[in-house]
Amino acid sequence: MLSKRIYWFILLCLAITACKKQSNTDITSVIPESFSFNTLKVNGVYTGFTYTNINTNPVIKFSFSTAILHASIANSISFKSAGGTAIPYNSSFEDNDNTIVITPVQPLQNLTKYNVAVTTDLKSVKNGNLQSALNVQFVTTIDSTNKFPVITDDQLLDVIQKQTFKYFWDFGHPVSGLARERNTSGDIVTTGGSGFGIMAIIVAVNRQFITRADGLARMQKIVGFLKNTAQKFHGAFPHWLNGTSGMVVPFSPQDNGADLVETSFLMEGLLTARQYFNDSGVAETGLRNDINILWNGVEWDWFRQNNQNVLYWHWSPDQGWVINMPIHGWDEALMPYVLGASSTTHSIPKIVYDNGWAGNGSMKNGNSYNNTLLPLGPAYGGPLFFEHYSFMAINPKGLTDIYANYEIQTKAHTLVNYNYCINNPKGYYGYSKMCWGLTASDIASGYTASSPTNDVGVIAPTAAISSLPYTPVESLQALKFFYYQLGDKTWGPYGFYDAFSLNDLWFANSYLAIDQGPIIVMTENYRSGLIWNLFMSCPEIKAGMKSLGFSSPNL
């Protein structure tokens, strides 16, 4: 009996073992092997999974370690624009079905981002799944066709100046006449940007975009508001004002009073207007008298903060000198020192310029960048507005002092910026001899002062265009590219939008007074020297600049 039970027990164990083996064999046989991605080529080239400057009929090839099941493609490969629009595509096979070829059914849009994604639902002919998903992104090439009819260079500059002027004329604040900070600023007006706008009005009158009578009426509104309504602190204006009430709009919690640099940009515009509206009649005589009241009221010497040999940028009525920011060169703020020395009521002596602005020579550079010797400023010169804001009025041609030749300085800084963009060390798509110019502007995530040492891939049209007096060939080439080739994306109701990135396919829809103004004024200085000639004709400026040691045929 015992042996029989053992016998049946052994038989049962053998049966169970056999079943398990059969079961394991069955499981192994029904699980297909996964497969892997081998190579990718976009138009015959592999450079990773991100591509730029791709034509509008690209050929995208994915190669795998095994043959692909045709029927699995529809549910595993998607072709979309950056906005999520599905792009119809054709698929074919090569290399014994190991390679899938994807092409769009119709040509793609220019300057647009696209994405081709392959999910792990892609199957092999053996019914295995792709081990890891794939994602290819690319940007299509620029449409090189002209977006506007080609006209002469003079006609083009007229178009640029006239359209850009609309920012200050049509969009000027209805109560004060001052320039809004930007096209979304509502009642906030900018003092420095208004100084640029005043010079733009002069250009517009001189080029007959508006009548002299209309220009004079707008100037009377602006000057009357500044004289009678706007808040002032020791004669200086804040960075921002409410265009209706004239009250300070704080630029920051501590910056709620005087801004000497912005005031200087306003004054350079006012002095230029004083020289232009020179008729002996009552209206223009009255305008000049009111401008002189504003000009003579600025206490430049008081901004030495207790008689130091340097000027200070800010002062707050309730916090005093808390920001405590001395104005040292080299940057955009030469103008406060020139105006301070030129004042007949609150002047500063040469030692304040030498010690404060020039740092007794510490503002000198003397290094070469891309084979261009840069006399002054930080490494690579900084953003290009350094060579625009003060030099919208000060003529650098033939201008020298013990620190530099300013004609060489302004051209060198521009060429350093230009050559940096051509060399493009960060490899941003779109940078070229036609597409260059790094300066302060809007960027996709906010605002920054772009320069060769702070390059985020954003080009601002104002940078190259406002450099026309320094690099006419290079700047005009860029201007034409911005207008003719990119104009469908960069050109709007007030001229060129503030900035763009071909690398990230971002185009601003914003306008800033401090960027629009230099385009008009520096273009005019290139064409006729009008604003330079007017400002440099001021007798106070001649005397003041000479007192600082400047020499120029224009003084």
How far, in Å, are 18, 75, 257, 270 from residue 243 at the CA level?
A: 93, 59, 16, 18
Please tell me whether residue 184 adopts helix, strand or coil conformation: coil
CA neighbor of 70 nearest in space, from 32, 41, 106, 101: 101
Residues 195 and 334 placed together within one structural domain of the fold: yes
Residues 214 and 356 placed together within one structural domain of the fold: yes
* 6 band by pLDDT with thresholds 50, 70 and 90: very low
Residue 92 domain flag: yes
Type and span of the H or E element at 58 = none
Whole-number pLDDT of residue 8: 44
Residues 191 and 322 placed together within one structural domain of the fold: yes
Residues 119 and 182 placed together within one structural domain of the fold: no
Residues 68 and 215 placed together within one structural domain of the fold: no
> Is the pLDDT at 285 greater than 60, yes or no?
yes
Q: 84-102, pLDDT tens digit by residue?
A: 999 999 999 999 999 999 9
Residue 191 domain flag: yes
CA neighbor of 392 nearest in space, from 524, 206, 547, 537: 524
For helices 260-276 and 191-206, the axis angle rounded to 10 degrees is 20
**Is 61:100 a contact under the CB 8 Å cutoff?**
yes
Residues 172 and 210 placed together within one structural domain of the fold: yes
Q: 116-132, pLDDT tens digit by residue?
A: 999 999 999 999 999 99
Residues 168 and 127 placed together within one structural domain of the fold: no
* 12 band by pLDDT with thresholds 50, 70 and 90: very low
Higher pLDDT among residues 27 and 32, named by residue? 32
Residues 169 and 110 placed together within one structural domain of the fold: no
* 14 band by pLDDT with thresholds 50, 70 and 90: very low
Q: 445-482, pLDDT tens digit by residue?
A: 999 999 999 999 999 999 999 999 999 999 999 999 99
**Is 410:384 a contact under the CB 8 Å cutoff?**
no
Q: Which two tokens stand for residue 154?
A: 């003079």
CATH of the domain at 224: 1.50.10.140
Q: How many residues does the chain have?
A: 555
Which phi and psi (to 5°) does residue 236 adopt?
Answer: -95, 155
CATH of the domain at 120: 2.60.40.1220
> b/e for 510-522, b at 16 or more Cβ within 10 A?
ebbbbbbbbbbbb
Residues 131 and 162 placed together within one structural domain of the fold: no
Q: What is the mean pLDDT of residues 303-331?
A: 98
DSSP letters for 266-322: HHHHHHHHHHH---SSHHHHHHHHHHHHHHHH--GGGGGTTT-SS-BSEEBTTTBTT
* 31 band by pLDDT with thresholds 50, 70 and 90: confident
Q: What is the mean pLDDT of residues 272-280?
A: 98
Please tell me whether residue 547 adopts helix, strand or coil conformation: helix
Residues 189 and 44 placed together within one structural domain of the fold: no
**Residue at a domain's end among 90, 118, 140:** 140
Residue 464 domain flag: no
Range of the domain at 92: 37-140
Residue 478 domain flag: no
The tally of domains found in the chain comes to 2
**Is 159:494 a contact under the CB 8 Å cutoff?**
no
Please tell me whether residue 468 adopts helix, strand or coil conformation: coil
